[in-house]
Amino acid sequence: MRFVILLLFITAFPLICTPQCETNRTGRAYLGLPSFFSLYFSGQCFEGNTSDTTLCVKFPPQSVGQVAGFSYSSPSGQPAFVTAINQYSTDCELIEASPLIYPSTDTVVVCYTINAVLIDNFCPYAILSNGLAVEFCGIEAEYEQNFIRLHFATCSNAGTLRYEVIISSDLTNWKTIYTLQPEQVNSSDITDYNLSIPYSVGGLQYLSVREVDYEGRTTVSDIVVLIVPEVVRNTGGFDLLGRSVNNSNYLYIVKPTR
């Protein structure tokens, strides 16, 4: 099975409105590009075999713009194409044919017209869009000796006030675990950052870097998925292979999204 993540920017001709835009399915907006698996396990996906069709989802209003995107999985490896993304009001009136959702106080229904031989999951989502003051060009992390070893790079930045390392267990509630100043407030060159951050919370964690500029705008990097098993507590003894076991034994697995 091949997984494909696409962020689509298109302008299409308006479609005739169908009852599909009256869907009760609600999509979520993310700070950065989510992985296919995070979308699947959070219930974002239309599951089941699907060929040429139109699928719709409601996106709640946001105070900033959104960009409608999608991921899909294909059991045959054949590509799928979204030939139109149309926005409708809640009473199914066409707003415009575009993936760019403007800031609003009203819910928007987004309908994706899909051209595919066969896909078995289609996962719509949106990414919150702000003025981009930085271009991220890579992020990776691994866990070692009670620290997250984080490396990220920026290809350019302008008016950067600070970077915040943020983490979440549900892709909705984020907290800052580290803050650092930029090497330069303005730069057109690649800048590398290497950090060691103490961390010991077990479970599935999502890690990202958020840039804050002097105008208060934010830009978020790609998301790294960290699978951190809980610490096993015991009173000491031996495992099935006769090895000594104590409370300091940890197992950490860090899996980047890309």
d(CA 8, CA 81): 10
Domain that holds residue 205: 134-255
Instruction: Single out the residue in 107, 129, 151 at which a domain terminates.
Output: 129
Same-domain status, 94 and 149: no
Same-domain status, 66 and 184: no
The answer to which of 13-27, 107-121, 161-175 has the lowest mean pLDDT is: 13-27
* Domain CATH for 37: 2.60.120
Mean pLDDT over 155-179 rounds to 89
C-alpha to C-alpha distances, 59 to 73, 87, 119, nearest whole angstrom: 22, 10, 23
Same-domain status, 109 and 149: no
Same-domain status, 7 and 125: yes
The answer to which of 18-32, 62-76, 240-254 has the lowest mean pLDDT is: 240-254
Residue type, 236: G
pTM: 0.50
Q: How many domains does the chain have?
A: 2
The answer to which of 54-63, 148-157, 214-223 has the lowest mean pLDDT is: 214-223
Burial readout 115-154 (b: 16 or more C-beta within 10 A, e: otherwise): ebeebbbbbbbbbbbbeebbebeebebbbeeeebebebbb
CA 133 to the chain's CA centroid: 19
DSSP 232: P
Same-domain status, 70 and 175: no
For the chain, what is the mean pLDDT?
79
194-243 pLDDT tens trace: 999 998 888 888 899 999 887 677 888 988 888 776 665 544 555 445 55
* 18: confidence class by pLDDT, cuts 50, 70, 90: low
Same-domain status, 45 and 161: no
pLDDT at residue 164, rounded to an integer: 96
Same-domain status, 139 and 230: yes
83-133 pLDDT tens trace: 999 999 988 899 989 888 888 889 999 999 999 999 999 999 988 765 457
pLDDT at residue 16, rounded to an integer: 41
